[in-house]
Amino acid sequence: MNQDDLFKKVIAHAKEYGFIFQSSEIYDGLSAVYDYGQNGVELKKNLRDYWWKAMVQMHENIVGLDTAIFMHPTTWKASGHVDAFNDPLIDNKDSKKRYRADVLLEDYAEKLRQKAEKEIAKAKKRFGDDFDEAMYRETNPRVRKYLDEVDATLQRMARSLEAGDLNDVKALIEEKGIACPVSGSKNWTDVRQFNLMFGTQMGSTAEGASTLYLRPETAQGIFVNFLNVQKTGRMKIPFGIAQTGKAFRNEIVARQFIFRQREFEQMEMQFFVRPGEELKWYEYWKEARMKWHQSLGMDESYYRFHDHEKLAHYANAAADIEFKFPFGFKELEGIHSRTDFDLKAHEEHSGKKLQFFDPELGKNYVPYVVETSIGLDRLFLAVLSYALQEEKLEDGSSRTVLRIPAPIAPVKAAILPLLKKDGLPEISREILNELRFDFNVQYDEKDAIGKRYRRHDAIGTPFCITVDHDTKEDHCVTLRERDSMQQERVPIDSLKSRLLESLSMSTLIK
Ligand code: GAP
């Protein structure tokens, strides 16, 4: 399956099996807003729980928080979002389509990069084992030409955006001959800045109402509560505060399914450290977060770091963990060394001190912050697209299977009476009642057993438990494992401990 087909299949599968629906679909949908269905909500919850356990439960010095979506409007002035949370947009005059100018240039650079990779792959095939890829990348003129142009384009774009020189961004788009992907036209408007925050009104009368913003990140709720948590939790530096929750951004170009939405969920952790120690902790969290991703069992080659060359004004180091989505490597999580920018800005705007008295140093200071920030929906998409597989079976038939790590799977086990009679449904329901408090299990008696197995493969259920006539005699059931499709007889009494062994999230964390 090529990557385009895979992506289409992921989207169709997500809908067909109750993972994700377009928001307000009966009204033709709302662009870049999605709802999670009966299986999606379970998978999303499990991913969130796994993150929470790894970050909060497994760290003595990290605690959780749940702050409101609405915050005092000055928060966003202090954080810089009112003045600088902008994307450069450009319209095509003929197609009337709107684009992010930086994305047009990044897509152009990505195409060149892919051309270079194609050349390299061809050479690899030609030279076999003797192929020195690093050398070829450096010396082959065609490859160099592509890669040099990638670097030059991205560097000039970064310089122009940083300097606020939007005329040069437009000039670059024109010089590179970039056309509107819809119409092929090169008839562009000027580039303008567009603030991504959604505004709304709080208050019942027009005169008394004040403008609020829907938070564009959860991090600021943590910063403004820094002292509340530090004092009431008697936290000592270094310590972290974690939270998960909705964030909202009026994305100019929303595409790629749940990858870029206007309403999405973040899982963020701010780690407060001594000034001067932030880069040590930055390296620590880069490594720790990469390990966490790899604990989900996806191949290492699907991840890479992208170290930022162009840093935001508040950061002194930043990197993304990128994942190989069906549409290429893209940001999944950001790790940022945010210095003392946020706490200092809130001190200035609120007039309140946000400092820590360090008993070892005998002085107060504004802590520095290392942030880890991941989009839950992007993580969901990564897991779903990696897990979805079409498999040819030995008997010539095929099956669609979601190889989601068992502890994360939406439904943990399906209990299936072989027939709808002879007391088999009753025994099945007894097993269901025995297991349902500890695991999300389902009872399913409709259709032939093979069809039921396929249905559960397609939603990633790791175990099917079949109750047959022998069960009445030997008090055993057939336990079928999703990936190997192997079946074994297991006493009903041992089912719970057997499932726990494979389904506990601790198996992933270890
Ligand atoms: N507090 C830092 C922060 O918000 P960010 O890089 O803008 O940093 C963090 O966002 C993460 O949130 C991203 O790595 C991505 O996973 C997710 N994210 C950002 N915008 C998103 C969107 N429009 N739709 C879905 N996820 C998004």
Encode 203-229 in three state secondary structure: CCCCCCCEEEEECCCCHHHHHHCHHHH
Question: pLDDT band at 390, cuts 50/70/90?
Answer: very high
Distance CA 252, CA 196 (A): 8
Distance CA 302, CA 323 (A): 5
Q: How far is CA 61 from CA 228, 235, 269, 363, 482, in A?
A: 15, 7, 12, 21, 38
Helix (H, G, I), strand (E, B), or coil: what is residue 386?
helix
pLDDT value of residue 205 = 67
Q: Whose CA is nearest to atom 4 of ligand 1?
A: 217
Nearest atom in ligand 1 to 266's CA:
12
Q: Which helix (H) or strand (E) holds 270?
A: strand 263-273
Question: pLDDT band at 254, cuts 50/70/90?
Answer: confident
Return the half-sphere exposure (C-beta side, CA atoms, 13 A cut-off) of residue 296: 25
Is residue 223 within 8 Å of 345, Cβ to Cβ? no
Angle, nearest 10°, between helix axes 376-387 and 3-16? 110
pLDDT value of residue 162 = 83
- The preferred substitution site among 290, 331, 369 for testing ligand 1, maximizing ligand atoms within 8 Å of CB, is 331
Q: Which helix (H) or strand (E) holds 329?
A: strand 328-339
Q: What is the pLDDT of residues 149-189, one digit of tens each?
A: 999 999 999 899 888 899 999 999 999 999 999 999 999 99
Q: Which of 97, 92, 99, 146 is nearest to 120 (CA)?
A: 146
Mean pLDDT for the chain overall: 95
Nearest atom in ligand 1 to 218's CA:
1
pLDDT value of residue 222 = 98
Q: How far is CA 407 from CA 49, 155, 236, 301, 489, in A?
A: 11, 43, 33, 22, 22
pLDDT value of residue 283 = 98
pLDDT value of residue 208 = 67
Q: Which amino acid is it at 333?
A: E
pLDDT value of residue 241 = 98
Q: Whose CA is nearest to atom 16 of ligand 1?
A: 375
Nearest atom in ligand 1 to 260's CA:
24
Is residue 227 within 8 Å of 367, Cβ to Cβ? no
Ligand 1 center from residue 127 Cα (angstroms):
42
- The preferred substitution site among 256, 264, 313, 341 for testing ligand 1, maximizing ligand atoms within 8 Å of CB, is 264
- For residue 240 the two structure tokens come to 């972290």
Ligand 1 center from residue 61 Cα (angstroms):
25
Question: pLDDT band at 130, cuts 50/70/90?
Answer: confident
Ligand 1 center from residue 266 Cα (angstroms):
7
Which domains, and CATH codes, for the chain? 1-76+196-389 (3.30.930.10), 86-193 (no CATH), 411-504 (3.40.50.800)
How long, in residues, is the chain? 510
pLDDT value of residue 336 = 97
Burial 270-292 (b: 16+ CB within 10 A, else e): bbbbbeeebeebbebbbeebbeb
Distance CA 397, CA 134 (A): 43
Across the strands, what pairs with 193? 88
Is residue 35 within 8 Å of 185, Cβ to Cβ? no
Question: pLDDT band at 290, cuts 50/70/90?
Answer: very high
pLDDT value of residue 255 = 76
Nearest atom in ligand 1 to 375's CA:
16
pLDDT value of residue 50 = 98
Is residue 30 within 8 Å of 24, Cβ to Cβ? yes
Across the strands, what pairs with 455? none
pLDDT value of residue 211 = 86
- For residue 113 the two structure tokens come to 């990069």
With a pLDDT cut of 70, the percent of the chain lying above it is 99
Q: What is the pLDDT of residues 334-377, one digit of tens each?
A: 999 999 999 999 999 999 999 999 999 999 999 999 999 999 99
Ligand 1 center from residue 375 Cα (angstroms):
5
Distance CA 336, CA 186 (A): 37
With a pLDDT cut of 90, the percent of the chain lying above it is 88
pLDDT at 310 over 90: no
Q: What's the first-to-final CA gap in the chain, in angstroms?
A: 33
Q: How far is CA 480 from CA 114, 145, 175, in A?
A: 42, 54, 60
Q: Whose CA is nearest to atom 27 of ligand 1?
A: 375
Q: Whose CA is nearest to atom 10 of ligand 1?
A: 373
Helix (H, G, I), strand (E, B), or coil: what is residue 448?
coil
Q: Which amino acid is it at 80?
A: G
Ligand 1 center from residue 264 Cα (angstroms):
8
Distance CA 318, CA 24 (A): 37
- For residue 272 the two structure tokens come to 């407060």
Nearest atom in ligand 1 to 219's CA:
1
Q: Whose CA is nearest to atom 19 of ligand 1?
A: 375
pLDDT value of residue 2 = 73
Residues 6 or more apart whose CB falls under 8 angstroms from that of 184 comprise none
Sheet holding 239-248, edge to edge: 62-64, 239-248, 263-273, 368-375, 328-339, 317-325, 303-307
Question: pLDDT band at 330, cuts 50/70/90?
Answer: very high
Q: What does DSSP assign to residue 334?
A: E
Mean pLDDT of 23-30: 96
pLDDT at 272 over 90: yes
Q: Which amino acid is it at 88?
A: P
Ligand 1 center from residue 275 Cα (angstroms):
26
- Pocket around ligand 1: residues whose beta carbon is below 6 Å from it? 217, 219, 249, 251, 260-261, 264, 266, 268, 331-334, 371, 373-375, 377-378
pLDDT value of residue 3 = 76
Ligand 1 center from residue 292 Cα (angstroms):
18
Question: Residue 307: left if φ>0, alpha if ψ -120 to 50, beta else—which one?
Answer: beta
Q: Whose CA is nearest to atom 9 of ligand 1?
A: 373
pLDDT value of residue 312 = 81
Across the strands, what pairs with 479? 465, 488
Is residue 64 within 8 Å of 242, Cβ to Cβ? yes
